[in-house]
Amino acid sequence: MDELKKAEIRFCEAAGTDDFQEILAAAAEYRDAFDEKWRNMSLGQRRRSRMPDEAARLLRWAISLVRMTRSAVAERRRGSSAAGRYLVTGRDKPFRTWGSAG
């Protein structure tokens, strides 16, 4: 397996995590591997290559996945924050509604 493919796999795996530093490191590794392979190609190979299209598609996919992951993490944080506030207010006591007697 060539270095570009290895870097692509690592980048895809990192994009599914909520570790932003890992995502940035994997993206840099992918960029470096892409640049290395691109520089070693002849002009004719570059003209026929689908590498730029594939890289653009990969980056669009990764951006959408990172956005979804960050949104899910933010939602979990909001939920746990609300649960914490609920417990702090002492809601473990019986809850009375407007119609409750007493």
In a domain, residue 93? The reply is no
Nearest CA among 76, 62, 72 for reference residue 24 = 62
| Residue 43, pLDDT above cutoff 70 | yes
In a domain, residue 8? The reply is yes
What is the per-residue pLDDT for 92?
Answer: 56
Res. 91 pLDDT band, cuts 50 70 90: low
What is the per-residue pLDDT for 100?
Answer: 55
Least confident of 8-22, 38-52, 69-83: 69-83
Number of domains in the chain: 1
Give dist(CA 27, CA 87) in Å, integer. Answer: 41
Residue 3 burial class via C-beta count within 10 angstroms: exposed 0-12, middle 13-18, buried 19 and up: middle
| Residue 75, pLDDT above cutoff 60 | yes
Query: Is the pTM for the entire model greater than 0.75?
Result: no
In a domain, residue 96? The reply is no
In a domain, residue 101? The reply is no
Domain extent, residue 28, equals 3-87
In a domain, residue 61? The reply is yes
| Residue 28, pLDDT above cutoff 90 | yes
In a domain, residue 13? The reply is yes
In a domain, residue 94? The reply is no
And the tokens for 20? 């932003």
